[in-house]
């Protein structure tokens, strides 16, 4: 294999006590059309059969896997960083243990990255609870012209909201240069990293196709349903507020209202109307007057 024309892509997966879902995530990486992929799994002290599952994969696919294990849970952010520290690829991307990739995701992202030379490349994503509902999207195959369809994600656009989702592809050297994910953040570590990449290396690029799928089963604990999400938002604003204009800062105050399920005084809502982030303003108004909490 020519490493110049087929650069290795490292995929990091943090996991804890989700062996069945981990299998699904790993299988979606093994099904990738891009031929040069290594998979790094960091196990956060699982007490289920995750070690046995990983032993099976390492036996079936020698040289494809790196299995790391923490004796005590250190958090998904530290698990991601451990994988990045052991990665060998030119490119790196990630996957949560309960999510999955479209078979052409990595191929599409590498092609976009090499064509546009962005700070990072990402795709559109879809939340799902029933895997059967996304089966048609998983079965769809995209030709070269379709895979080339993409839009720029500028730093100003990203400062309004996380348009990239929870995973991107970038050069491993860039992740290492930036020190990996910020382990002091209780949440929003992904969004924080995308902002740092765009601030340091310029405009990103996003495929127009849905090539990433995020399991939204609310019966399981997820950061997006917890108070840590609101705390992460507050720290994000403190960390990156200096990059934002007044309209972007107003938008993030509205995002905090939504996450905290607050009903601020109408005067505060008027003061924080954001033209570029109008969706968060609408969400605050819906919760204020109708008790409808979205997001």
For residue 121, the Cα-to-chain-centroid distance in whole angstroms is 11
Q: Are 108 and 32 in contact (CB under 8 A)?
A: no
pLDDT digits (tens, 9 = 90+) for 28-73: 999 999 999 999 999 999 999 999 999 999 999 999 999 999 999 9
d(Cα 203, Cα 191) in Å, to the nearest integer? Answer: 15
User: Tell me, what DSSP letter sits at residue 242?
Assistant: G
| pLDDT of 286 above 90 | no
Tell whether the model's pLDDT for residue 7 goes beyond 90. yes
* Helices and strands (DSSP H and E) totals, the chain: 13, 9
Token pair for residue 187? 């949440």
Residues near 181 by beta carbon (within 8 Å), at least 6 away in sequence = 77, 80, 81, 189, 190, 192, 193
**In this predicted structure, what is the pLDDT of residue 57?**
98
Beta partners for residue 11, in sequence order: 39, 93
pLDDT band at 283 (very low <50, low <70, confident <90, very high): confident
Q: Decide: helix, strand or coil at residue 42.
A: strand
Write down the mean pLDDT value for the chain. 93
194-219 residue pLDDT tens: 999 999 999 999 999 999 999 998 66
pLDDT of residue 248: 95
Helix or strand run (H / E) with residue 290: helix 278-290
Alpha carbons 68 and 16: distance in angstroms, whole number: 12
Residue appearing with tokens 């599952």: 53
291: left (phi over 0), alpha (psi -120 to 50) or beta: left
CA 90, 94, 95, 96 torsion-angle sign: positive
Instruction: Determine how many CB atoms are found less than 10 A away from the CB of residue 38.
Output: 20
Rounded CA gap, 150 and 23, in Å?
Answer: 30
Would the pLDDT of 150 be above 80? yes
% of residues, the chain, pLDDT over 70: 94
79 token code pair: 């698990």
pLDDT in tens, 228-278: 888 898 999 999 999 999 999 999 988 888 888 888 888 888 888 898 988
Coil vs helix vs strand at 165: coil
- Which sign does the torsion angle of CA 98, 102, 105, 107 carry? positive
pLDDT confidence of 223, banded at 50, 70, 90? very low
CA-only gyration radius of the chain, Å: 19
- Residues 72-106 have pLDDT tens digits of 999 999 999 999 999 999 999 999 999 999 999 99
Q: How confident is the model at residue 2 (pLDDT cuts 50, 70, 90)?
A: very low
């Amino acid at each position: 294999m020519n490493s110049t024309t087929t650069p290795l892509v490292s995929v990091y997966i943090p996991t804890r006590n989700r062996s069945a879902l981990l299998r699904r995530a790993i299988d979606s990486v093994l099904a990738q059309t891009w031929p040069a992929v290594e998979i790094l799994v960091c196990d956060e002290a699982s007490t289920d059969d995750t070690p046995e599952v990983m032993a099976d994969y390492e036996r079936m696919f020698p040289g494809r896997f790196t299995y790391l294990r923490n004796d005590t849970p250190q958090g998904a952010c530290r698990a991601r960083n451990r994988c990045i520290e052991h990665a060998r690829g030119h490119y790196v991307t990630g996957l949560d243990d309960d999510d999955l990739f479209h078979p052409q995701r990595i191929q599409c992202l590498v092609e976009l990255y090499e064509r546009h030379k962005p700070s990072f490349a990402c795709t559109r994503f879809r939340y799902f609870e029933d895997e059967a509902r996304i089966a048609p999207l998983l079965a769809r195959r995209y030709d070269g012209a379709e895979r080339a369809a993409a839009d720029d994600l500028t730093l100003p656009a990203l400062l309004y909201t996380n348009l990239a989702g929870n995973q991107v592809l970038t050069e491993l050297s860039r992740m290492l240069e930036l020190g990996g994910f910020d382990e002091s953040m209780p949440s929003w570590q992904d969004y924080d990293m995308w902002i740092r990449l765009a601030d340091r290396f310029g405009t990103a690029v996003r495929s127009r196709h849905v090539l990433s799928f995020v399991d939204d089963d609310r019966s399981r604990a997820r950061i997006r349903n917890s108070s840590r999400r609101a705390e992460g938002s507050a720290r994000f604003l403190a960390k990156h507020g200096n990059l934002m204009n007044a309209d972007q800062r107003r938008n993030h105050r509205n995002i905090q209202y939504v996450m905290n399920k607050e009903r601020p005084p109408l005067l505060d809502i008027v003061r924080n109307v954001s033209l570029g982030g109008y969706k968060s303003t609408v969400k605050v108004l819906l919760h204020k007057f109708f008790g409808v909490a979205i997001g």
